[in-house]
Amino acid sequence: MEATALLDGAISPARNTALYGHEVAEQFLADGYRSGKLHHAILVEGPEGIGKATLAFRFAHHVLSHPEPELAPASLSDPDPESSIGRQIASGASHHLLHVTRPRDEKTGRAKTAITIEEIRKVGHFFSQTSGTGNWRIVILDPADDMNRNAANAILKVLEEPPKRSLFLVLSHAPGKLLPTIRSRCLPLRLQPLSKVHLLNAMDKLGIAVQPDQQAQLAALSSGSVAEALKLLNYGGLEIIQAFDDILASEGAEARFKMHKLADVLSAKDSDVIFQFFIDHLIEHVCEGAHAAAMRGDLGRADHLSRLASTVTERIGLASAYNLDRKQTLLDLVADVRG
């Protein structure tokens, strides 16, 4: 069921029995379901890694455990992993739940870059197979941002004419990128980044002890995302950020030496997670620099950085598509930021 690999230290949302910081959203779903008037498609919005998928599987467990809305409990409870429904969901064997995500490339073993129309066609097959059962049928689209254009158009048709007793939980890190017609057919449910307390509770649940002197820094740099916190702690993200800051504070040969050292780490084998982490951090840094330059009236610098921010992802994509040297691409990008 899981196409994309889990981060080191993470728990699959389908197996996660704990959720922190989203009590209001949980109650909204419980109330809506119990009333019998819940919208057939919920757009669960919010930054990556804050619990959207965990909430979706948690709610799916609630619905499938209590198929008659008027008899459902007034609130969601922690899923029982030992129940038949809990075991089916955790193993991806539930006939009433379909998790649509990026498929795995059989040759490379990695997740593909997009959710394709072939994956969306599985939704139609899922509904046709389960027609007549009378039970709820739930589709978790995770995340909808990953759909290519054909897939987006295909899911739109399903959303326009949903089958009876069907529920779509559409997850999105950046809902503004979705087709307006998809957004208009969903009821938005916005989740906020986790507070410091909730973030630390989530890390503790994962068995990751955060040292007292790291807690404030981790909360600030992770922006309330457990996924980002894991990258900072388990993938060397804190050290990568420090190394980048040291480069920006250095000059001449010293700066070039540090740039090569950082690029070696980021272009090493099996460094995809920390590489993307750095690219995201670089883009954020460039955007902040552009804003600061504009505020102090340095419009030339602001324009340069704005253009750079808009092309970083494109340049990385081209380097990957044409198998260009990743290290040199990184060196060029960091040089542009310094310049």
Each residue of 160-172: pLDDT tens digit? 999 999 999 999 9
pTM: 0.92
Q: Which H/E stretch holds residue 231?
A: helix 226-234
pLDDT reading at 3 higher than 70: no
Least confident among 1-15, 209-223, 259-273, 294-308: 1-15
Structure letter (DSSP) for residue 108: T
pLDDT reading at 60 higher than 80: yes
In the prediction, which pLDDT does 4 show?
A: 62
Count each helix (H run) and each strand (E run) in the chain, helices first: 14, 5
Q: How far apart are CA 41 and CA 62, in angstroms?
A: 16
Is there a contact between 133 and 49 (Cβ–Cβ < 8 Å)? no
% of the chain with per-residue pLDDT over 90? 89
Phi, psi of 193 (to 5 degrees): -55, 150
In the prediction, which pLDDT does 267 show?
A: 94
Mean pLDDT score across all residues of the chain: 94
Is there a contact between 242 and 22 (Cβ–Cβ < 8 Å)? no
In the prediction, which pLDDT does 22 show?
A: 98
Token pair of 78 as six digits: 């922690």
In the prediction, which pLDDT does 193 show?
A: 97
pLDDT reading at 179 higher than 70: yes
In the prediction, which pLDDT does 1 show?
A: 44
Each residue of 105-115: pLDDT tens digit? 887 777 888 99
pLDDT reading at 218 higher than 50: yes
Phi, psi of 2 (to 5 degrees): -85, 115
% of the chain with per-residue pLDDT over 70? 99
DSSP E strand stretches across the chain: 41-45, 97-100, 137-141, 166-172, 187-190
Q: How far apart are CA 38 and CA 133, in angstroms?
A: 20
Q: How far apart are CA 65 and CA 180, in angstroms?
A: 33
Q: How far is CA 41 from CA 60, 73, 183, 219, in A?
A: 13, 21, 10, 32
Q: How far apart are CA 171 and CA 139, in angstroms?
A: 11
Taking residues 49-54, report their average pLDDT: 97
Each residue of 70-103: pLDDT tens digit? 999 999 999 999 999 999 999 999 999 999 999 8
Half-sphere exposure of 156 (CA within 13 A, CB side): 14
